[in-house]
């Protein structure tokens, strides 16, 4: 049914726009008609519009948080085949997905060989945190170090650090793939150090702790990083082999596993292969 644009509906729409209530604006006429036919009183009508506005507002905020997290893809826990990684503590993953570790400002470290799903699960935890209203940022360690060094050169390091400090959860992906320079390691240490007890960190790495010195350079720095990271920390270790390797073997044998469906960026898969 087409609504009659009376002077008061024109004015109402103008005011709703000024008040920044887009869902009120969009839904007011339809809801008014429905409430009239269902005999809902004025307060009930107002309640329905408020609920619509709140729901849409939360949806938009969640989308904004997901975007600002800069995940390389949107891998979900549902896409993860736990049977392929039996050494992984599935109960702990389920508990971490409730994101209470973010409230408690605890850390999570994913340890394991390449291809064992560390990044996949780190992203899944990050998405769960976004959905619970947490501000999350995903960074590859090598890229973060480069950005920190550039910021230092451009004298914007303080600004960059304070913008990183605003996140409830920082995901530091792939520590250990490339050794950091002395300065790079120190800048990374400062990020980890300032997150300590103020933010949650998720770190993924293929390096056992005893080899972190090879990446961070000095034993003193490695000790300090590990001291902060491993205090109030959950360690998830996957000792199995690469999922892609297992997948390739299954394909050769002719049985195809269920494909991961929620990847937004299939390029990620090929880039890593």
Pick the binder of ligand ADP from 21, 52, 69, 75 (CB under 6 A).
75
Closest-CA residue to 273 (of 251, 243, 238): 243
Residues facing residue 235 across a β-bridge: 109
Give min distance, CB of 260 to ligand ADP, in A.
5
Judged by CB under 6 A, how many residues of this single chain contact ligand ADP?
Answer: 20
Part of the chain binding ligand ADP (CB under 6 A), chosen from 72-80, 151-159, 194-202, 218-226: 72-80
What is the spatial distance between Cα 55 and Cα 61, in angstroms, rounded to a whole number? 10
Residue 119 as a binder of Mg ion (CB under 5 A): the answer is yes
What is the spatial distance between Cα 25 and Cα 68, in angstroms, rounded to a whole number? 27
Pick the binder of ligand ADP from 77, 117, 126, 217 (CB under 6 A).
117
Give min distance, CB of 273 to ligand ADP, in A.
9
Residue 119 as a binder of ligand ADP (CB under 6 A): the answer is yes
Full DSSP string of 40-107 = --HHHHHHHHHHHHHHHHHHHHHHHHHHHHT-SS---GGG--GGG-TTS-HHHHHHHTTTHHHHTT-E
In the bound state with ligand ADP, the residue whose beta carbon lies nearer, of 35 and 121, is 121
Structure tokens at 143: 């890229």
Residues that bind Mg ion (CB under 5 A): 118-119
Residues that bind ligand ADP (CB under 6 A): 75, 79-81, 84-85, 112, 114-120, 204, 243-244, 260, 269, 272
């Amino acid at each position: 049914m087409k609504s009659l644009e009376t002077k008061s509906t024109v004015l109402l729409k103008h005011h709703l726009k000024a008040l920044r209530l887009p869902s009120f604006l969009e839904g007011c006429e339809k809801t008014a008609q429905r409430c009239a036919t269902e005999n809902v009183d004025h307060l009930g009508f107002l309640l329905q519009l408020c609920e619509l506005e709140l729901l849409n507002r939360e949806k938009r905020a969640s989308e904004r948080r997901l975007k600002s997290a800069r995940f390389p893809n949107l891998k979900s826990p549902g896409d993860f085949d736990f049977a392929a990684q039996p050494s992984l503590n599935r109960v702990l993953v389920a508990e971490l997905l409730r994101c209470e570790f973010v409230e408690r400002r605890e850390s999570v470290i994913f340890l394991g060989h390449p291809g064992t799903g560390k990044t996949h699960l780190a992203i899944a935890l990050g998405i769960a945190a976004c959905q619970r209203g947490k501000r999350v940022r995903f960074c590859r360690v090598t890229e973060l170090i480069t950005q920190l060094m550039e910021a230092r050169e451009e004298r914007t390091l303080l600004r960059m650090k304070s913008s990183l400090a605003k996140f409830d959860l920082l995901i530091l992906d792939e520590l250990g793939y490339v050794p950091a320079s002395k300065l790079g390691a120190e800048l990374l240490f400062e990020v980890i150090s300032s997150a300590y007890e103020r933010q949650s960190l998720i770190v993924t790495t293929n390096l056992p702790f005893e080899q972190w010195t090879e990446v961070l350079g000095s034993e003193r720095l490695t000790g300090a990083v590990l001291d902060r990271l491993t205090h109030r920390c959950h360690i998830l270790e996957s000792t199995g082999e690469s999922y892609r390797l297992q997948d390739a073997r299954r394909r050769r044998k002719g049985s195809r596993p269920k494909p991961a469906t929620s990847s937004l960026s299939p390029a990620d898969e090929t880039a890593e292969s």
